[in-house]
Chains A and B, each alone.
Chain A
Amino acid sequence: MAEPILEVSGLVKHYPLTRGILFKKQIGAVRAVDGVDFDLARGETLGIVGESGCGKSTVAKMLVNLERPTAGSIRYQGEDITKLSGRALKTVRRNIQMVFQDPYTSLNPRMTVGDIIGEPYDIHPEAAPKGDRRRRVQDLLDVVGLNPEYVNRYPHQFSGGQRQRIGIARGLALRPEVIVADEPVSALDVSVQAQVINLMERLQDEFDLSYIFIAHDLSIVRHISDRVGVMYLGRIVEIGRDAEIYDHPTHPYTQALLSAVPVPDPEAREHRERIILAGDVPSPANPPSGCRFRTRCWKARERCELEMPPLAVPAVFAAGPAAHDSACHFAEAKQVVPAETAENAGTAENAGTAENAGTAE
């Protein structure tokens, strides 16, 4: 694997729960993120999936420094960015940018498109000489597939997909190396999602970007990611290359998640095994002891209650196609995604074995 551009270790974010009108007293904490580690290689796409409340968006916010971690570090090219402030922080921000979920609220309705995409240059005047900015903004519009003459329009004059392109253009303005995309297509119509996904893949090649792609849609994450991390209640429970996660999941939660995704193939519904989880996700203010998934897990035993399973390659899978990190005491490979027809299965295999399959295409 190429050298990591981003190294996240022991990342924790607790939001204090307080009571009181004038003088606030802490009565507990919401453990939104509770010990997350991963690396991101240059040119790679790391997908992070999980259900609402699992902490994936909080991770995204910490990566772009919108939230300060309670503990842990985020190293960008070896430097811990969580402790930075002032000028040094501003420099780092140029290199890690974010694309937001909701194209309707992420663009200031009272700014023209030209001002929105050009704002990065106002904040970082050294990035582009003043006379050059307008041309750059128009170039960016062109790059994301919008008419460069639209600079004087306002966001509401565009459709959702077009707005998301504007958001992407803003994210690209400073030529960042890492883009954190938090559910970038989930607010869009199906036919427009594909346009935006294709655009993001093309831009990755064109600008040599590394992506952190956060989503709840496992199909989209598989499509775009080289590696995938699965989050549950503030922790990563399983992480590995996309074929390892989708074809050889070893954590029960991943298996349940994958088996619950509807596959657009009515033939599959009869002979597909569904793992239907009981109950709801526990509150992050009061997570279960030991393994956090144990309250909904059909394999849970006493050990799961007492001992938190580490995120590591389970000994039973030390070699073989399922060798990837999985935080389960009783990890067990199980194929839950139906095998496809011969040709498609072949493609999946290739994608899994070839190094950097995602970027080589």
Chain B
Amino acid sequence: MLKFSKSQSTVAHNVLVATRFNSTKLLMRSRIVAPSFQHLRTLHNTSAIYQKSHLSRQPIGGSESQRHGSKTSRRFENVEFNAPLSIAFFLIVGGLSYYIFENQKKKMDAEQQKESRKGYGTPQIGGQPFELIDQDGRAFTDKDMLGKFSIVYFGFSHCPDICPDELDKLGCWLDELQKDRIELQPVFVTCDPARDSPEVLKEYLKDFHNSIIGITGTYAQIKQMCKQYRVYFSTPENVKPGQEYLVDHSIFFYLMDPEGKFITILGRNLDEVSGAEKIRESIWEYKRTH
């Protein structure tokens, strides 16, 4: 009994170790016996075994299954080589990695494009924190530049001819852009805080477009603001109280995006029409790429 079971296990062992050989032996045996219906069935069975064993090569790490019975090994065989399943697995893994790869590639391309659009040497203008006050004495900080396009101009109320001209032009642009539903926050920053108090600015800006916000502060705050925007300005030294003077300053409009970052400058060469056109195009371009 013990011997039998041992021999049985050896058979099972043999089936596993040399399945091909074993099945050929079985086949041979079935050929020797005269074929009958029952034998045919056996033949059929054995060929099935043969087929299976032919397909199953030694599993990877096969020694494991060799130690166990044939039943376990069959179960492993199924997992080990299931053609439709492996094709599906291949497709899923392949598809997934292709998708991830493409996605990543697209992301990198977009990043690269964004980077290239920036151009080299984009000037660092604005975008830094500042704290000033408007013509009503309320605080006006860098936070007030967020969420909307702004156009910033530096000047002073005692300006003889250029600033009033430029502010009139700005008014035309604002009206023109309003027709296209482009909202722009116009900001007038004084370079002459000594004379341009909020009250003076308020009175001065009455002559211009009613949406213009007048900004002032202490001399140090204004100096800092001008530095941020790379605005040159000079107040004559040793000004006696009540003495009249002019402030020399650079004259540009600065178009800023809703993140408070610089988009472009507009110089004096632009008129009522071409200036509005430049702003419109810059904002459309910005919206298209963001």
Q: Does A associate with B in a complex? A: no
Q: B residues bordering A, Cβ < 8 Å?
A: none
